[in-house]
Amino acid sequence: MGHDTNYQDREFKTIGTRVKRPDGIDKVTGRAKYGADAFAPGQLVGKVLRSPHAHAIIQKIDISKAEKLAGVKAIITSADLPDLTGSNRGMTDILENCMARGRALYHGHAVAAVAAIDEQTAKQALKLIKVTYKLLPHVTDVDEAMLPDAPIIQDFVLQDGKPSNIAGISTFGHGDVDAGFAEADVIVEKSYKTEQTHQGYIEPHACLANVSSDGSGELWVTTQGHFSFRVVCSTLLGLDMAKLKVTSSEIGGGFGGKTHVWTEPLALALSRKANRPVKLVMTRDEVFKASGPTSSTSMDIKIGAKKDGTITAATAILRYQDGAFPGIWGMLGAMTAYACYDLKNVKTVGHDVLVNRPKVAAYRAPSAPMAAFGVESTMDLVANEIGMSPLDFRIKNAAKEGTQASYGPVYGPIGIGPTLEAVKKHPHMRAKLKKNQGRGMACGFWFNFGGQTCVDLNIGPDGTVSLTIGTIDVGGSRASLSLIVAEELGIPYDQVRTNIGDTASLGHNDTTEGSRGTFSSGMAAIFAARDAVGVLRERAAKMWDIPVDDVVWADGVATATGAKHSNLPPLTLADIAAKAASTGGPIAGHNEVVADNAGVSFASHICDVEVDPDTGGTKIIRYTVIQDAGKAIHPDYVEGQFQGGAAQGIGWALNEEYIYGADGCLQNTGFLDYRIPVCSDLPFIDTQILEIPNPNHPYGVRGVGETSIVPPLAAIGNAVSHAAGVRMTHIPMSAPRILKAIDDAKA
Amino acid sequence: MTGVLVSTTINGDAVQFACPTDETLLDSLRNRVGLTGAKEGCGTGDCGACSITLDGRLVCACLVLGVEANGREIGTVEGLVEDGKLHPLQEKFIEHAALQCGICTPGFLVAAKTLLEKNPKPSEEQIRYALAGNLCRCTGYDKIVRAVQAAAKEMRKK
Amino acid sequence: MMPRISLTSSLRDAVDGAESIELHAETIGEMFAKLAERYPRMADRIDAGIAVAIDGQIYRDDWNAKIPADAAEVFLLPRIQGG
């Protein structure tokens, strides 16, 4: 629409101030409404029956007894969900993941669903559904799934014309790695494994679906993308997209796990069948078993370098499991593995492998943490061999503007160098270490995305401003967007209110992922505000009866320029809004944009740990996150993203893993045995925000939300190697694993 | 439903509801009384998102039966506001950006309030251990601890 | 002077194994249209999602984005998403 997306250096008046978020009071008083907090008259309770087996043919589903139970209003199986996707493989996979079609592909895979008048009746109905299974051999380990005699998960996946569990092999890189290794003075080759983890959002998936007999529907749902949910749900159910209104509730954490549908199509199908609203809330057990955890992986890393510290060649062979349906997770690992470095010869290969586990979903910088664990651990090993400090070794090989990235394109201005220099200067590096303590550092990379975005900016009759956006507020972005509008209009922050519109109120908005929320909606808000300023100037010109070119908007008021207009007092937003009816009607600004060019994001982390040599237990003593944010609109919330990602990475590094039994069933489906960090596990997490403006955003904003989960696994691995003298290659580095490594080293 | 009539006091108000004997107090509060501030994060007492007070004692509402509330006093996050003013904990949580998605916030506020009632000058370690039963996935707890420290300081002035 | 369009390995089978292609286009959309015309198998891959890096900047959606005549590099990648 003709707006300039280039960065313009300027002094900000409101941007960068630490204001109170507009939804704060609702969230501290319990008034805010999340997915499970909606109620509809006559609503039914939905419940899902799930496979107790890892891999089985579903021979028969007998619902006759369940149907007769008083209070049961609808039961669905895959027979109620015909394939309307038009052979769109991606969509059919989603459909089959939401409910099994003839085969249960993982422990917890949905097999049937009921809607009943209350939870007791729904649970009773599930017990009365009789499913006849024929057990099939299963495989849950990524390496085992690649063996020639492994049970095949999907028969449409072929390698060399033969059925295989290897759904994809992606290669990236440039140069000649063989020649590079031949040149090296030092080569380190090592293999690593990481176990499966879950995003761990505290709010389970929840929705309230209401489909009328005329095919129109409403869906209230906790989601990162209500617009994309509308697309998927209407496609799967054959509903008219324009007739399905999806409203996003407040979201109790997402981190990528709420970018996909799991039970929402089932709730809509139940509601359509029962002709009543259906509320479907996942239990915590179901969240672990049947939403979208991240990949477990195994990988082989090889780095060669000269004595002067120059890396001459680097390779990574990565194997990521996608769960039971093909994904691009191995590909993403292969793209990100060496992204921090300037390498002449690099080759990465990512395998996407199917196993009898839930369909993998994105988890904050998806696939990057695992590859970074392997690469950043090996970087330290090479540095040790050469006798160079790990920090200086990274500085020497860091990517910069003009570097060809290992995944292909050439970098513009980037922040890896500055974060490493900041590490060097940071007081954390000089803090004294005590007995059994060690320090480690690591770098991380993630892409940032833009995407389809649109916003509406409306100026009310009293001059207050309402901004309606289509991205979700995962961590305080309503405050940032209000700050942006306040900055553009030159008015106080308190005069702006940001709301999240439902799908009927705005054009399509892409999902809030890829660290794009503040970047994209922010860009659209800037342009919408500038449009509104154009309208305000025209209205002022009308009120004064002077040419619009003689009207200037600055500091929240319209001023008439020129000597002949000097008698005209300035007009505020409120003044102009009060006269809107007679000057042309309601005043608004609007913007649709495909925000793109969000750039890439780099971070460096420093970590001190203390390892108890008698138990292998590891305590985080001190942690520092240094990351480039481009421009921190609201510094508190940028810090919050840094700290939150680091905490998730710490849990991933030390405790969290999916534990499968020999029967292929998930054993730890609750927060007791899937142990995420608690308050007493962590110290204060220091943050340093670097601001190297993104040249492709008017305020220089970069995406910030994801990258901070990438460095912790290796930062902690490197710290443990110094604290305990053992090099850990298996994530999580839980106490038993570290203790075993210590004992093995002594033997 | 074969229900039992429960007569209880919630945030100082007399409340009656009927519920089945196997229903949790969390479900009674949310589905029958309409107080949705307490959240179900796990249903097994591991996450603290349903933290309430029962006769002044911090409990997980998902581990208490609705019928057990009979004749007792319940405190929820909705009761923190007094005379229309936010509790210092609520103020400081907003001021210190101690919430991102906010789902765990009601539980943390109730837990922190009972901590400060028992110990008005807790050390950082005491705060961390008192709140170890409340899970947060967004913040890494840093700003939560700072907000509790700030609220404690504010409350000691009064 | 036509920009050289390089393709990531997973896309090369759709262009008869070529690692790079010379093609004149003023926008990303025009480039996709011409690629699909020249290599019919690319049409499916474009539908499935391709991201374009022009001199290092990644574009995922903006098919109106201009390809400067003096662009040093245009790189085609699979369309990726975050979390």
Q: Which pLDDT belongs to residue A1? A: 44
DSSP string, A419-485: HHHHHHH-GGGGSPP-TTEEEEEEEEEEE---EEEEEEEEE-TTS-EEEEESS--SSSHHHHHHHHH
Where are the alpha helices (H) located in A238-367, listed in sequence order?
Answer: 264-274, 284-290, 329-336
How far apart CA A615 and CA A742 sit, in angstroms, is 10
**pLDDT block averages, 10 residues each, chain A of length 747:** 81 90 94 98 98 98 98 98 89 96 98 97 98 98 97 93 93 95 98 98 98 95 95 95 96 96 98 98 98 98 98 98 96 96 97 98 96 98 98 97 89 88 97 98 91 92 94 87 94 94 90 84 92 95 94 94 87 95 92 80 96 97 95 92 97 98 98 97 97 88 91 98 98 98 94
User: Per CATH, which fold does B4-79 belong to?
Assistant: Ubiquitin-like (UB roll) (3.10.20)
Q: Are A122 and A116 in contact (CB under 8 A)?
A: yes
Which of A363, A510, A596 lies at the smallest CB-CB distance from C83?
Answer: A363
How far apart CA A597 and CA A693 sit, in angstroms, is 13
Which of A23, A284, A639 lies at the smallest CB-CB distance from B44?
Answer: A284
Cβ of B132 within 8 Å of Cβ of A647? The answer is no
Cβ of A644 within 8 Å of Cβ of B137? The answer is yes
How far apart CA A682 and CA A619 sit, in angstroms, is 8
The residue of chain A with its CA nearest to that of C53 is A409
Q: CB-based contact (8 Å) between C60 and chain A?
A: yes
* Degrees, nearest 5: CA angle A519-A525-A528: 145
User: What's the gap between Cα C50 and its chain centre?
Assistant: 7
Give Cβ neighbours of residue A545 (< 8 Å, ≥ 6 apart): none
Nearest C-alpha neighbor of A637 from the set A715, A701, A718, A719: A701
Q: Is the dihedral of CA B132, B135, B140, B143 positive or negative?
A: negative
Cβ of A29 within 8 Å of Cβ of B80? The answer is yes
Nearest C-alpha neighbor of A185 from the set A303, A306, A311: A306
Query: In sequence order, what E strands does A260-371 have?
Result: 278-281, 297-305, 311-323, 346-354
Q: Which pLDDT belongs to residue A574? A: 93
Q: CB-based contact (8 Å) between C80 and chain A?
A: yes
Q: CB-based contact (8 Å) between B102 and chain A?
A: yes
The residue of chain A with its CA nearest to that of C10 is A170
- Which ipTM value was assigned to this complex? 0.98
- What's the one-letter identity of residue A527? F
**Four-point Cα dihedral A469, A470, A473, A479, nearest 10:** -10
Token pair 């534990």: residue = A659
Q: Which pLDDT belongs to residue A335? A: 94
Q: Are A451 and A514 in contact (CB under 8 A)?
A: yes
Query: Which residues 109-128 of B are in CB contact (within 8 Å) with A?
Result: 109, 125, 127-128
How far apart CA A99 and CA A94 sit, in angstroms, is 9
How far apart CA A725 and CA A747 sit, in angstroms, is 14
Class assignment of domain B88-157? Answer: mainly alpha
- The two structure tokens encoding residue B10: 């919630």
Residues in chain C: 83
Domain residue spans in chain B? 4-79, 88-157
Cβ of C53 within 8 Å of Cβ of A409? The answer is yes
Which partners does chain A have (≥3 C-beta pairs < 8 Å)? B, C
In chain A, what is the greatest distance between 2 CA atoms, to the nearest angstrom?
93
The residue of chain A with its CA nearest to that of C52 is A409
The residue of chain C with its CA nearest to that of A706 is C83
Residues in chain A: 747
Identify the band that residue C1 occupies on the pLDDT scale cut at 50, 70 and 90. Answer: low
Whether pLDDT at B17 is above 80: yes
Percentage of residues in chain C with pLDDT exceeding 70?
A: 98
Cβ of A33 within 8 Å of Cβ of B42? The answer is no
Burial of C4 (0-12, 13-18, 19+ CB in 10 A): middle
Task: Name which of A19, A29, A119, A639 to mutate to probe chain B: the one with the most chain B Cβ atoms within 10 A of its Cβ.
Answer: A29
Nearest C-alpha neighbor of A443 from the set A342, A331, A298: A342
Task: Name which of C50, C57, C64, C70 to mutate to probe chain A: the one with the most chain A Cβ atoms within 10 A of its Cβ.
Answer: C57
Distance from CA of A244 to the nearest CA of C (A): 25
Domains and CATH numbers, chain A: 24-32+450-595 (3.30.365.10), 35-136+204-251+258-290 (3.90.1170.50), 297-448+599-746 (3.30.365.10)
Q: What is the pTM for the complete model shown?
A: 0.95
The residue of chain A with its CA nearest to that of C79 is A328
Q: Which pLDDT belongs to residue A607? A: 98
* CB < 8 Å to B38, chain A: 30
The residue of chain A with its CA nearest to that of C47 is A88
Between A226-237 and A89-98, two packed helices, what is the crossing angle to 10 degrees?
Answer: 90
* CB < 8 Å to A516, chain C: 82
Cβ of C83 within 8 Å of Cβ of A407? The answer is no
Residues in chain B: 158
Q: Are A355 and A701 in contact (CB under 8 A)?
A: no
Whether pLDDT at B1 is above 70: no
Q: Which pLDDT belongs to residue A74? A: 98
Distance from CA of A274 to the nearest CA of C (A): 34
DSSP string, C32-73: HHHHHHH-TTHHHHHHH-EEEEETTEEESS-TT-B--TT-S-
User: What's the gap between Cα A562 and its chain centre?
Assistant: 52
Query: Which residues 15-74 of B are in CB contact (within 8 Å) with A?
Result: 20, 22, 27, 30-31, 35-44, 46-47, 49
Give Cβ neighbours of residue A154 (< 8 Å, ≥ 6 apart): A165, A167, A324, A325, A326, A354
How far apart CA C16 and CA B141 sit, in angstroms, is 54
Distance from CA of B100 to the nearest CA of A (A): 4
Nearest C-alpha neighbor of C62 from the set A527, A6, A595, A523: A595
